[in-house]
Each structure stands twice: as C-alpha cells, then as structure tokens.
Amino acid sequence: MEHEIVLGIDLGGTKLLVGEIDSSGRVLRSQRFRTPLLEAKTPVDAMDKVLQCVSGYIRKYSLRPEADFSGIGMGMAGRVDPHKGQWLAVSEENTTPVYAAHILAEYYGVSAAVDNDVRCGLAAEMAFGSGKGSRNVIYLNIGTGIAAGILIDGKVLNGAHFFGGEIGHIIIDPDSDAYCTCGQRGCAEAIASGIGLHTRAEKLAADYPHTKLKKSSDNLRYQAADIFALSGEDDLCRRLTDEAVRALAVTIGDLACFSDPERIILGGGMMNNSMLFERILEALPKNSTRFLQGKIMRSTLDCNYIGLIGAGALILQRDQRIMA
C-alpha cells in the first residue's frame, strides 16, 4: 500500500516507545512511556501495561484502527516466536508466555506482528537502511546490552529456542574479572555494553582514586559517552575504553567467521560515538574480516527510533503478519 501507516511499539529495558510509521519508514510522531519491564514480572504483566500505553496514545491523537493505521507491529526484549506471535520470556526468570500478536490484533481489530527488539532493528535495516537488497547481513546492536539480528541466505536466524543472536554472551576473555548477569565472566556484554561499562566502572573506581569520571545525576550511572570522552586523559576511562574496543572488535570478527555476511551494520546508542567506531575498525582481526573491507558500517537510521521503525516494518513488509 503506497501510503500505508502503521503503529509501532518498541518495548525495551529503558523505555516504551509508541508511534506511527509510514510506508517509507518515516516516524510521523511518537510518544515515550516508562517501560513496564521495570515492574512487570512476566510478559503477561507487561502486556497489560503496554495496552494501557497504546490505548492512551490512540486516544491522545484520536486514531481510528484501519482508517488511521492498518496494523500494529511490536518489538520487545527477550525471546519471541514471530511465527506464532508469542512472547516467550522477558528473561529466564520471567517465563510465562503470552500470545502478544493475537492480543494486539483482537484488542484493536487490525493485523499485528511481533518479534525480538534487535531482530526488529534488522528488519528496519533490511526495509529502509543499509541492508536493503542483501541476503546475508548482520545488524549488531551495541547499547545497554549487545545482541545481533542475523540474516543468512535471505532467512532470519531465530534459533530452535528463539535465542539466536544473543552474541553478547560470547566469551571474549575467560580470565576476565568482568562478571556477566548470565553467570559467566568475560562476556562481550560484560565488557563493552552500556550496562557492562557502568558495572566495570563501579567495580574499578576505587582503584583509580583520581579519576574524573562521575555518575550521571539523572540515573546515577556511569555513562559510556563520558567514559569515551575522558579516555584520552583518565586512566580508568582509558582502560575501560581499550577493553571495550578489543571486545567489540573480537565479537565482530567472530560474527564474520560465523555467517560470512555481505555487510555488518553497527547500531545502538554507543555507535553515536565516532571515535569508538574508528577505533573498532582499526582493531578488527584482519583475516576474519578480510571480505568486509568498507562493509562494516554504522547504521544510517536514528538509533532512537530504529526499533520503532523495525516494529512497523513487520507489518509494512508483511513479514510474519498475523491477522485479526
């Protein structure tokens, strides 16, 4: 449909974003809500809160299902079965499955589709970004956590348990003192994600009494952007940045060997930092990335909206569409 408009929902650990997306992938308007995942114990609990926020958005802009939007796409953290439209788990502790796509379709009377939030990022890249026209692509999201959406020979890698792409838990250094929430140590996510950098800074700060690094006043966390900005003059920040660069370069090299992609697209909030991106390129293992010269790139899509755009793409591209 040439001028189709759909509703997108991007549910993550730090925010819930609801908005309208047109057939060119443009976000027409959106509204940010507090994420239900801070309080919700299960996907069932979270969906109740999601419906409240989406309904509030629809009322605010006087939207009419079918007339003003033709469908709803939703991306969410955790394990998702896009074929059944089922949200399987927020985390391994929160595992009461819910048929999220069916709930959305029945509640609003339009078609609905759901997928994992990072695979929605891949969907956005394939529909409107640097992945368009390719059959072998990796979208690597480097933000609060680290995960990948992987396209192999034109097919999205979901995995037998819909856990495919959780490459943040690839072990970079088994002897590292960086412990991960998964129970291992030396994972890429524990060393190089936003939350990993905060946790490492908190643990190591006492060893660097003269560090200039301070916690953010709004969320009392050490921010990745501050760490990178101080890396040229502050020993703690230099160490954290060096370790993150190495971990990300190794991860990208491993991914290149795993699926031999045409291109690897780096997205997520941390990829806003040009210095970090350039240092990663310099540190890449040459042999494993030799076919990707000039094809490891930053996303051209806005990292703040890529999940929302990808959620919309689930409907706009008629991918795994579930009808009401």
**Three-state SS sequence of 134-158:** CCCEEEEEECCCEEEEEEECCEECC
Strands (E), 228-283: 263-267
pLDDT tens string, the chain, 324 residues long: the values are: 468 999 999 998 889 999 999 999 999 999 999 999 888 878 888 999 999 999 999 999 999 999 999 999 999 999 999 999 999 988 777 678 899 999 999 999 999 999 999 999 999 999 999 999 999 999 999 999 999 999 999 999 999 999 999 999 999 999 999 999 888 999 999 999 999 999 999 999 999 999 999 999 887 899 999 999 999 999 999 999 999 999 999 999 999 999 999 999 999 999 999 999 999 999 999 999 999 999 999 999 999 999 999 999 999 986 444 433
* Residue pair 136/262 in contact by the 8 Å Cβ criterion: yes
The structure tokens listed for 324 are 């009401």
Q: Which 8-state DSSP code applies to residue 130?
A: T
Q: Which 8-state DSSP code applies to residue 85?
A: T
What is the predicted pLDDT for the residue at 242?
A: 98
Closest Cα to residue 273, out of 239, 205, 223?
223
What is the predicted pLDDT for the residue at 247?
A: 97
Q: Is 0.85 surpassed by the pTM of this model?
A: yes
| Spatial distance between the Cα atoms of 81 and 97, rounded to a whole number of angstroms | 10
Closest Cα to residue 39, out of 56, 58, 16, 18?
16
Residue with tokens 């200039």: 212
